[in-house]
Structure 1
């Protein structure tokens, strides 16, 4: 069985975020194929964006599969870049003590744009964005910020929908938040965490390679002071009895899922918003801009996913790329959708 180090040279970067008033950094990993030391100008660069609570290393099996399939699909990969958001994964560890509690999904879009600006010398070829869930929303918005930056987009169940209490995305976010609240976030040892993943139905649906990376990177040791430390190779020590906790703290994950629905000053809330005390505004903000999306776009949706109803699929069909400056939409082959039967989300 091959590992990521058999295929890629992996380089870690700590890159400053775009924000001027906060000294925050992004933890970034770059994957360079070992067999492509002299890349051509048209070799593909991939920018990845994780879902909420998913550390960037969980996507390494996807990069391995893309690399292997590129051999028969007629394209070459120059490099793959993926960053934890400033409040997630290793970025959250590096930024500890400087994080706020009012989080905006789309700030990461600006951070990715800043990352590409800083590393543009190593990104001369076509750039393809691959985003999962919240990451799909962020990459779509990145393409709206800079319409000519990305050559194409692959959006895996992106959080893009109408602003409504009946929105399947908003309801799905609520279910994910409830799942996080009802799940443990600390275990007495790595062995206890492994037993938890073995019994948990969610992890049973994951590729075993992803589960292994969750145990290695999605958890971190709890120090004697009660704070988490950076994930390390000690996790392979089967005799370890050091407590472990989530690398992305549960409260940070929850802040991403939910923002309180509050009236603006003395203006009362619309009746529809009173049905739900929480929402995510970015879900609607990006939907409203989908007509202006320029890159060719592929939507990947699970056939059993609760995050995309037939109505929402039709809505995206009508919206994506059909406005001023957009790709032309479906009639111009500007986007495509693919449904994977029998597959859900996360």
Structure 2
């Protein structure tokens, strides 16, 4: 945090020891991954692990060995996951109180990338060949990032079910209403992480999740309930890291589904863009 930006921005860096051979290679890729609404940075871990397995020497038969990756950075929205707990006080005051949106996430990512040289690791993202990967909210944010000055040059972008609407806000309105309803109705308190695990395993929304994603959600998508600080006996209750109110605020972002489209129209003429939609048209189609 700084006087002009009182929020923590957290991220994790993933790599394999064999990738260190590419540190000085200008063609090696640095992956920048952004998560979706109500999730957390660690939700990408099973995907990153699978990609790295294909890229590693052990996965040479996949034909991807020629692709060189330096590392992957997963950057968290400041009102989600671990970041939300660090920022819980600042999020209760202007200008961040009930105001987070796709662009706010993009601005946080830009701030993190810009601060690289100030960090003790001295990471200069401007000299690296960046690939942006965003899921849902993250797809909108990685798109909006492309027009924030000073611009970070990306070599390509991958959008996974981005919450965008090329036809204006109308077509996505029913989905927005449904997501807001579900967010308000979502259970947000459990007596323990074990209870949360048992409860979430039986939910229709989570039954198709990769088991590892669900485990990571229970570990990183929940946080100790703040009421525990006032309990006389040890209290193990947990609540959502991204509160229901913060989740709803993201869904109500008036320009969140449309503004990224205009930016996409511009940068897709300069760099390759790959868009992935789910086989089942249950959310974005």
- How many residues are aligned here? 259
Match of 2:112 among 103, 111, 115: 115
Distance 1:26 1:254 in 2: 21
Bigger share in helix: 2
Which structure has more relative contact order (CA 8 Å, sep 6+)? It is 2
The question of whether the paired residues in 1 share the 8 Å contact of 2:228 and 2:235 is answered with: no
Residue by residue over 1:187-230, the C-alpha shift from the partner in whole angstroms, topping out at 9 and shown as x without a partner, is 11222211112211221111111111111111122255468xxx
Match of 1:153 in 2: 157
Structure 2 alignment gaps of length 5 or more: 57-61, 92-96, 118-122
Match of 1:212 among 211, 215, 220: 215
C-alpha displacement of 1:88: 1.4
Match of 1:80 in 2: 72
Secondary structure at the counterpart of residue 30 of structure 2: strand
Match of 2:195 among 192, 199, 212: 192
Distance 2:236 2:112 in 1: 36
TM-score by length of 2: 0.83
Match of 2:264 in 1: 290
C-alpha displacement of 1:301: 0.2
Q: Could you say if the C-alpha distance between residues 174 and 69 of structure 1 is closer, same or farther in structure 2, counting changes exceeding 3 Å?
A: farther
Secondary structure at the counterpart of residue 112 of structure 2: helix
Distance 2:6 2:284 in 1: 37
Higher mean C-alpha deviation, range 34-43 or range 58-67: 34-43
Flag as ranges the 4+ runs of structure 1 deviating above 6 A.
none
C-alpha displacement of 1:110: 2.2
- 1:1-346 to 2 correspondences below 5 Å: 16=1, 21-39=4-22, 40-71=25-56, 72=62, 73=64, 74-99=66-91, 100-119=97-116, 121-123=123-125, 124-145=127-148, 149-162=153-166, 164=168, 166-168=170-172, 170-225=173-228, 242-259=236-253, 280-293=254-267, 294-309=270-285
Q: Could you say if the C-alpha distance between residues 128 and 176 of structure 1 is closer, same or farther in structure 2, counting changes exceeding 3 Å?
A: same
Secondary structure at the counterpart of residue 236 of structure 2: coil
Considering only aligned residues, what root-mean-square deviation do their CA atoms show, in Å? 2.3
The question of whether the paired residues in 2 share the 8 Å contact of 1:144 and 1:292 is answered with: no
Distance 2:124 2:67 in 1: 18
TM-score by length of 1: 0.69
Distance 1:54 1:115 in 2: 19
Structure 1 alignment gaps of length 5 or more: 1-15, 228-239, 260-279, 310-346
